[in-house]
Structure formats: structure tokens, C-alpha cells
Structure 1
Amino acid sequence: MLRLILTALVLLPLTARAETCPAPPNHGDSLDALYQEVQAAPSEAAAQRVVNRMWELWADAPDARAQEILDRGLRRRASFDYLGAVQDFDRLIAYCPDYAEGYNQRGFISFIRRDYPAALVDLDRVIALSPRHMGALTGRALTLMALGRTEAARADLLRALALNPWLPERRFLDQLPPLDDETDL
């Protein structure tokens, strides 16, 4: 009996560590409506209010544990504690590998730190998980620009602008050569 109790006490921490993250919330319908709203926005300011609502959905983590890790990482990033923020986003990604925002935030920090190859890996993962994530698309475009890959940067920027024509990053289109198959914007 004592052996059984000891075994249970040893295995209890392993069971807690084996906790899995639930699937990310499905905000597809809400995002569809917000994309329509942002495309119809009469001004950049109105569009930004819609985009802020999108960020609320993207930052809606799968469960309370994931939300706590994300929020702590965002606070650390805001206070310029990039190392601490990356550690939090690493934890979030390890716990919730199918939640795009962990990769997006870690990729953003890599971009800020000018580690463009690392940023690109994370942004590619975000786009694979959430193909219409405008933050990841514009972040990827800016990362590709920094790497001198202007054609791919323009393609991503055009994809993002098709979702939201009011993006501030639209100003970079003039700095990027047109694509061979690009017709009229």
C-alpha cells in the first residue's frame, strides 16, 4: 500500500505536466464580419477601431493558463524585457503549439531584435495556422523587406491590403517593385 501511495505521489507531477492545451477558440465567423467591416471602413481611424477588435480575438488564448502566459509575455514585451517575453512565448508555444498568437508575438520580438530569419520561421507558422492574420502578413512583409526579398514582401503586403486597405504599411508599396503579374491596384 505504501508503495502504491509513493508511486502515485511520484507520478502526480508528471500527470500535471502532461496537461494539454485545448484547441484555440474558433473566431472565424466574427473575423469574417470584422474583415467585411474593415474593408468598408470610411477612414483609417475607423479601420483601426475594427482592427483593435480583431486583436482582441487573436489574443483570446485557448484556456486560462495559456491566457496568463500570453498576457505576461505581452507585459514583458511592453516593458522591453524581450528575453523574459520570449521565454513566456516559448512556454506558450510548447503548451499550445496550434495557437497562432504565441508564434506571432515571438516573431515580433525577433523582428524587433533584427533576427529576421527567426522572425520569418515564426511568421510562416502563424500564417499556416491563421492565413488571414494581418499582423503576421504585414510583419512577414516587413521582415522580407529587411532581408531584401522585395518580390515576396510585396506579395505579402498585397495580401494584407486585400484584407484591410487602410493598413499603415501601405506606404511601403511605393518602395517595392511591382510584381510581374500585377495589374491594377
Structure 2
Amino acid sequence: MGTLSAILRVPVRSVAIERVEKAEAILLEIRKAIDSNRDEDYIKTKSDMFFNLIPHRLGYDKPILTKQIIARKQDVCQLIKDIVNANESTGWSQLSDAASKYRALNCMIDWLKPGHVEREQVEKLVISTQDEDCPVTIHNVFAVSRSIEEAGYNHSVGNDKLLLHCSRPANFLGILSRIHFNKLIYIP
């Protein structure tokens, strides 16, 4: 939440999901206005409406005049929704463990012990793809899964392939709440 606290003028827990959804609708209106070459005053008025719903700190509240800025504001809205949804299920407790927050996202996380078959597959893949100039040391491997997708997954197809995804730790909340995956293995 460090990034959001730098952007938002209010605590993220005070932003209701309904406000975020209205703000997202305004972003859509701004995108349509940009596409149809509406006048800048109209877009600035819509920007002000967005910032009334999602109060931003000075410097982050410049008019939303480009599609690039719209994309960044959509990311902010999605992150707010992800944080609110995950934390509402734990009562915004600072003591809630990571497993509780993963459960709130309908995900499960498990540490894979040394010698575990999936861990060995991941280690083998990582080592085979590393660059000699940038060696990798694997400390922990976690398996993250969503039971809804696991239940609908057709294991009989037989074309499973282990893939790696790298991202900043701050991005994982959004990734876990939106992506569809059978199993994601995370190496911190």
C-alpha cells in the first residue's frame, strides 16, 4: 500500500468500491471524449469528477488528457479494489497472515519443501534459463493455486508447460485477483 498512500490523499480503506466503480465509468467517458476529439474543458471537468471520487495528492491530480494517463488511473482503481476486497475479508487486521489474504482472493499458497517434485521442476527450469552474468539463488518456492480453476482444468490434454512470471512484489495482489491460472509458482 506504500504506492497508493503516496498517490491518494485519503486512506485506501476509506474509498468505497462504489466510488471506484463510478470513477472507472468516468475514465471510460474520458476515453470516449478523447477518441471523439471533444474539447479539453469537457475532459478537464470529467477529470475533476474523477478526482472528487478518488482524491489524489498534489502532483498526482493533473487533468486526465491522454490514454496513457487513463491506463495509469485504471491501474490505481483496480489496485484499490483489490486491496479493499482482500482486506475486508480479514477485517482490515494488520495481524492477518498472508494465507488469509490469499484465501480472500480465492487462492491457496503453499511452501514447497526441498525435494518436492514441483520445486525441483522449478529449480531445474530456473537454473537452465539463467544468465551466467546474473546467477540466481533460489531460497524459497511457493505454489499458488485457485481451486475454481483447478476444478475446471482438463488434466487429460497433456500439454502442460511450466512457465515463469516475474513481477515486482507490489503487483502480485492485482495479478492474483485477476488472472486465470492452474498453478503459479512464486520464487521470492
Return the TM-score normalized by structure 2: 0.23
Instruction: Report which of the two has the higher share of helix.
Output: 1
Higher RCO (CA-CA < 8 Å; seq separation 6+): 2
TM-score under structure 1 normalisation?
A: 0.23
Structure with higher strand content? 2
